[in-house]
Amino acid sequence: MGPLVGDVAVRGSKNGVTKHLVAAMLGDSPSTISNCPDVGDVHITGGMISALGCEISLDGVNATVDPRPLNSSRVPLRFSGMNRIPILMLSPLLHRTGEAFVPLVGGDDIGARPLDFHVDALTKMGAQIEITSEGLEAKADRLRGAHIELPYPSVGATETVLMAASKAEGRTVLDNGALEPEIIELALFLQRMGARIEMRPNRRYIIDGVEKMTGASQKLKGDRIEAFSYLVAGLITGGEVRVHGCSQDRLVTAISTLNRMGAQFDITDSSVSARADHLSPAAVETNTHPGFMTDWQSPMVALFTQCDGLSVMHETVYENRFTYVPALNKMGAQIEAYNTPLGSGESRFVGSSTPCSVVVRGGAPLHGTEVVVPDIRGGFAYVLAAAAATGTTTITNTHHLDRGYNRPIENFQGLGLDIKRMSGTEPLASQPQAPPAPQQPVPVAPGSPVATAATSSTPVPTGDPSAFAPAGTTPPQPPTNS
């Protein structure tokens, strides 16, 4: 075991670039997106766009989409379940062809992410949508502006409405829209293409539809999920990682949360680094932007395992985000999960059988083991935990990491992590047309930090929070502003 030290340059996020690729289909000339990550989801999305007849070129950093040759309105079934991008293709396809078919969406198994918000919004705008066993069939002579109020500020539904409204007839007013930086980035790209989008207070967007949109160019801003995760990589091992390419304004809540725990930061216009002599426990609650991001949750829980004392994490955005906890416990962590919310607000998932909060007793030594990556973010959390563990950890299903992170193995090697792929394993990015297949184990030498992620048959322990706390204490409660 040793500290991870060094520099990591992050590129744009998969959650940003894939939506830009879809939005480019609204133009009547080519669009170029730069600073793209080399991740599997980019190639999967590129494969869908190409299958529709559009021309797309990817060189690992830049992506250019020429939407003019589009000759099909149907996304092939072979893309079913690969990621959640197909639902976003309804808007540009309806504008371009008046009809669309998209297969069932996939993505990480982190709880229910229903399509109702997307379908309801497009229906209000004049689309006729039928959900079948294979996907969604949609038709619309012309999408028209409407007043849409989302029951929850869903990122995906906000993206659907922004793209649909950009070329719809008349004005669309969207209330309770998402405000995540990736959403603002998409809105700016649409504006460059000719869309008329305004932002108002209280999560309101006003979009006046236009007849024509042209191609545009945009450089993506740095991935705030990757940036936070690599900062944690330094902290969890007692080292220091400097992250380049992600500006401070995209990490405000993350920085303040880690600072309260004892982390010290060195922040410049182009980089952020974090170090700590000692980290205190914390109580954190995920929320929509500008709250603590749900995709920061699993790296933070991994960090909690190395803090002295009891920490609490309460998840409010997704229903099933703690599937990675059993594998952390298998590595020696002491984490207890609860169906009862341990946060300041009510749970969105009342009656759910899945945990919404965990209590972490920090300071327990972690040890290497064999694990299977369950999803993108949980997978990175196991890499972090293994980096703080002793012994060898072996990872399988590493295609999840390749789907969401730009060259994670190479970045960790650059920080001093002894990690390598088994021969014959390739990242999903090199196989965009095929569903991800289980990969061979990734071994790491004994005594070295290691990457890992997994599901486990070991159940997540549940119980009364007060019973988990040491005698005379109670679990900490999450602050209202975390």
Model pLDDT for residues 430-467, shown as the tens digit of each residue: 222 333 343 444 444 333 433 333 323 333 333 443 33
pLDDT at 466: 37
Selected residue with higher pLDDT from 10 and 474: 10
- List beta partners, residue 197: 207
Residue 312's Cβ-side half-sphere holds a number of Cα atoms within 13 Å equal to: 23
Active site residue 108: yes
With a cut of 70, say whether residue 480 has pLDDT above it. no
29 CB neighbour count, 10 Å cutoff: 13
Question: Beta strand 283-285 with 394-396: parallel, antiparallel or unpaired?
Answer: unpaired
Q: Any idea which residue has 């590493």 for tokens?
A: 398
pLDDT at 1: 59
Confidence grade of residue 471 (pLDDT, cut at 50, 70, 90): very low
pTM confidence score: 0.86
Show the domains of the chain with their CATH numbers: 13-219 (3.65.10.10), 223-468 (3.65.10.10)
Average pLDDT over residues 145-162: 97
Confidence grade of residue 251 (pLDDT, cut at 50, 70, 90): very high
With a cut of 50, say whether residue 378 has pLDDT above it. yes
With a cut of 80, say whether residue 147 has pLDDT above it. yes
User: Among the options 38, 66, 108, 418, which is catalytic?
Assistant: 108
pLDDT at 114: 67
Confidence grade of residue 354 (pLDDT, cut at 50, 70, 90): confident
pLDDT at 2: 87
Tokens coding 278 = 């000692």
pLDDT averaged over the chain?
86
pLDDT at 461: 38
Selected residue with higher pLDDT from 212 and 470: 212
Average pLDDT over residues 55-59: 95
Average pLDDT over residues 199-228: 98
With a cut of 90, say whether residue 374 has pLDDT above it. no
Question: Beta strand 128-131 with 264-267: parallel, antiparallel or unpaired?
Answer: unpaired
Please name which of 72, 147, 83 lies closest in space to residue 113, comparing C-alpha atoms.
Answer: 83
DSSP state of 159: H
Average pLDDT over residues 358-362: 97
pLDDT at 306: 97
How far apart, in Å, are the Cα atoms of 249 and each of 223, 268, 269? 12, 11, 10
Average pLDDT over residues 307-333: 94
pLDDT at 60: 85
pLDDT at 347: 66
> Percent of the chain scored above 90 by pLDDT?
72
pLDDT at 450: 38
Please name which of 234, 279, 287 lies closest in space to residue 260, comparing C-alpha atoms.
Answer: 279
With a cut of 90, say whether residue 75 has pLDDT above it. yes
Average pLDDT over residues 393-412: 89
> Percent of the chain scored above 70 by pLDDT?
84
pLDDT at 346: 66
Average pLDDT over residues 276-302: 96
Tokens coding 358 = 């965990």
Selected residue with higher pLDDT from 46 and 477: 46
With a cut of 80, say whether residue 477 has pLDDT above it. no
Confidence grade of residue 106 (pLDDT, cut at 50, 70, 90): low
Which run of H or of E encompasses 121? helix 116-124
Selected residue with higher pLDDT from 428 and 58: 58
Across 143-152, 216-225, 330-339, 438-447, least confident range: 438-447
Q: In 234-329, at which residue ranges do the beta strands (DSSP E only) sit?
A: 240-244, 264-267, 271-275, 283-285, 309-314
